[in-house]
Amino acid sequence: MHQTIDSLKAWLNSRIVGQEQLIERLIIAILADGHLLVEGAPGLAKTKAIKTASEGIDADFHRVQFTPDLLPSDITGSDIYRPEQGVFEFQAGPLFHNLVLADEINRAPAKVQSALLEAMAERQVSVGKKSYPLPDLFLVMATQNPIEQEGTYPLPEAQMDRFLMHVMVDYPTPASEKTILQLSRAEATGNQSSDFEAVPQATIMDARQQVLAVHMDEAVEEYLVQIILATRNTQGYGEELASWLDYGASPRATIALDRCSRAVAWLDGRDFVTPDDIRAVAHDVLRHRLILSFEAEAAGISANQVIDSLLAAVPSA
């Protein structure tokens, strides 16, 4: 099982060069059964990463370009009237795929965000009086462009909280850039070989069960909980830190940090979680769930800096 997932990870890294962290977070999200919010400049292989992942795990993929004129039915589907039978028949929308890319998610209006929120949180779509279940393997990877904010709709806190992780994507290294150029030429000339055998969805489901079975010692679990509690009650960790946060992380963050740290341990070939596993994913799990105070924003303090301070202040197990 580990060998299969490791092979998938290696294959993805060979196809998506210079984005090792994005690939790892994508695999963690698949194993932890959660959704990803990815933020980065255009052209950093965000779309290619999830599309290639769908090929690697034998899953179907659909990309939705979010725009201001998008309607909820454009992503959920709608009831279509069939005059020959005299009945309405439900025609499924893009959300009824295993891996869905919500490209530039913050460009869609509130009604579309609401429809997507139901799909992400409840794994179902409601049209009219009926609800339709989504596939067992269902992951939304939403992207945001940090450069251009004109014509965007900020995501509500409730929807931000539904994302397992918020991943920041940066530019590749110079060496990776050269490899990307070589791969691009190979793809353009049709010389790129693809002999990877896709991982069955049943294997992914089995791997999820193994991730859930990874042991977490009571002291490590207490450390995890204390990190979350520190985001809500910062007074005990210094006045400066207390002045940076208006609202802390929800219990959903506790669950997300637990799932992700177990996945990190499992991918590392261990059957137990360490504090380092928790710290490895703490920034991605928490950065979109913390609401910074006006004082922090005025001082140029980022969510990453707040999380750094929290991890330094909370004693490890």
Confidence of residue 133 (pLDDT cuts 50, 70, 90): very high
Residue listed under structure tokens 């004082």: 295
pLDDT level of residue 271 (50, 70, 90 thresholds): very high
> What b/e sequence results for 23-41 when a residue is b if at least 16 CB atoms lie within 10 Å of its CB, and e otherwise?
bbbbbbbbbbbbbbbbbbe
| pLDDT beyond 80 at 194 | no
pLDDT at 100 exceeding the cut of 90: yes
pLDDT of 18 strictly over 80: yes
Query: What's the mean pLDDT in 7-14?
Result: 93
- The average pLDDT across 98-103 equals 95
Distance between CA atoms of 50 and 68, rounded to whole angstroms? 24
Q: How far apart are CA 70 and CA 53, in angstroms?
A: 26
Structural tokens at position 102? 């919500």
Residue 121 tokens read as 């949180």
Distances (CA, A) of 10 to 148, 178, 199: 33, 19, 13
The CATH architecture annotation of domain 214-313 reads Orthogonal Bundle (1.10)
Mean pLDDT estimate for the chain: 90
Q: What is the pLDDT of residues 216-245, one digit of tens each?
A: 999 999 999 999 999 988 777 777 888 898
Separation of CA 167 from chain center = 7
Distance CA(73)–CA(99), nearest Å, equals 18
pTM higher than the cut 0.85 = yes
CATH of domain 34-169: 3.40.50.300
Summarize pLDDT for 142-174 with one digit per residue, the tens: 998 777 666 677 787 888 899 999 999 999 999
Q: What number of CA atoms fall less than 13 Å from residue 115's CA on the CB side? A: 26
Token pair of 252 as six digits: 């959903």
Least confident piece of the model among 118-132, 141-155, 301-315: 141-155
Q: How far is CA 206 from the centre of its chain?
A: 20
Residue ranges per domain, the chain? 34-169, 214-313
Output the pLDDT for position 149.
64
Q: What is the mean pLDDT of residues 34-46?
A: 91
Q: Which amino acid is at 257?
A: L
* pLDDT at res. 29: 97
